[in-house]
Amino acid sequence: MDMVHVKDVAHSFGREEVLKEVNLSIQEGEIFGLLGPSGAGKTTLVKMIVGILEADQGEAWVKDVKMPSLEQMKVLGYMAQSDALYNELSARENLDFFGSIYGLRTKKRKQRIEEVMNIVDLYDHLDKPVQKYSGGMKRRLSLAAALLHEPDLLILDEPTVGIDPILRQSIWNELKRWQQNGTTIIVTTHVMDEAGKCDRLAMLRDGYVIATGSPKELREKSHTETIEEAFLAYGGEKG
C-alpha cells in the first residue's frame, strides 16, 4: 500500500498558481525527496500531505485516509521549515507541551523526551531555555519534537538548513536508521547531494513535477552524471 498518494493536486495563492496537477505515490518504508529550487512549491505540497492546507483541487491521502484528518495527523511527525518553539521555555518544557498535544501519558512522555533528546544529541541541554540554543540546536530540537510520538510517517521540510556538514551527516545516518525500523520519510531539499541519498525523488519546478524516480534512474534516463545535471536536463533551469 502507498503511504502517501497525491492525486491531481493544484493550488493557487491569489493569482499565483503554486501547484499544477501534481501526482505522487510514496511507498511505505522509503525515503522520498522533494527536490526543487526556492519557490518551486515543496512546502505547499508538504503542508497538503500533513493536512494543514487544503488543496483547491485534487486530493492528498495518507495510507487510506484522505487529508486533512485530525486522526491521521497522529501517525505523522512534521518538522516545519521554521522552528515552532517557545523560546522562553526549556527544551524539556517544549517537548512536554508537544507530547501532551499528541496525547502521550506523563510517564511515556518523560521517557520519550529523554530518548529523542539522546537521538538528536541534545540530552545535556534538556533544561536549557531554548533562547540559549544555537540555530542548529533549534533545528535538532524541532526534529526531536517531530519524533516524540514515534510516527509511521516523518515529514521534514529542509531539515538540514543551517546545520554543519558533520551534523548533517549524522542526521542522515539517523534517517536511514529510522527507515530500517519501518518509518517512511519525506524530506524536502534544494541540496543536490542530499537528494542523491533518497530512495526516490520528485523534481519540482514552478509547481510541476518534472521527473520522478530513483537518483540512479533519473541520471540514467537523462544520460547525465549528477542529480544537478539531471535536474537541468528535465527542464529544471530557471527562466
Examine residue 39 and tell whether it contacts ligand ATP (CB under 6 A): yes
CA-CA-CA-CA torsion sign (150, 151, 153, 155): negative
User: Which residue in the set 26, 32, 33, 42 belongs to the binding site for ligand ATP (CB under 6 A)?
Assistant: 42
3-state helix, strand, coil in the chain (%, to 5): 40, 30, 35
State the chain's maximal CA–CA distance in angstroms. 55
Q: Is 36 helix (H, G, I), strand (E, B) or coil?
A: coil
Instruction: Give the DSSP per-residue string, 189-223.
Output: ES-HHHHTTSSEEEEEETTEEEEEE-HHHHHHHTT
Place of cell 536511514: 176
Place of cell 534538556: 126
Closest to 73 in 3D by CA, of 132, 136, 155:
155
To the nearest whole angstrom, how small is the minimum distance from the Cβ of residue 53 to ligand ATP? 8
Nearer to ligand ATP, 44 or 184 (CB): 44
Examine residue 128 and tell whether it contacts ligand ATP (CB under 6 A): no
User: Which residue in the set 40, 62, 119, 154 belongs to the binding site for ligand ATP (CB under 6 A)?
Assistant: 40
Q: What is each CA distance from 158 to 110, 207, 216, 236, in whole angstroms?
A: 28, 17, 22, 19
User: Which residue in the set 41, 99, 159, 215 belongs to the binding site for ligand ATP (CB under 6 A)?
Assistant: 41
Binding mask 175-204 toward ligand ATP (x if CB under 6 A, else -) reads ---------------x--------------
CB atoms within 10 A of CB 88: 10
Edge-to-edge order in the sheet of strand 76-79: 76-79, 153-157, 184-189, 31-35, 200-205, 208-213
Examine residue 44 and tell whether it contacts ligand ATP (CB under 6 A): yes
Stretch that binds ligand ATP, among 42-50, 68-76, 83-91, 214-222 (CB under 6 A): 42-50
User: Which residue in the set 33, 36, 77, 215 belongs to the binding site for ligand ATP (CB under 6 A)?
Assistant: 36
Stretch that binds ligand ATP, among 10-18, 118-126, 129-137, 193-201 (CB under 6 A): 10-18
Segment 45-104, which members bind ligand ATP (CB under 6 A)? 81
State how far the Cα of 205 lies from the Cα of 51, in Å rounded to an integer: 22
Stretch that binds ligand ATP, among 33-41, 104-112, 131-139, 172-180 (CB under 6 A): 33-41
Stretch that binds ligand ATP, among 11-19, 23-31, 82-90, 163-171 (CB under 6 A): 11-19
Nearer to ligand ATP, 104 or 187 (CB): 187
Examine residue 43 and tell whether it contacts ligand ATP (CB under 6 A): yes
Q: Which residues of this chain interact with ligand ATP, rule CB under 6 A?
A: 13, 16, 18, 36, 38-44, 81, 190
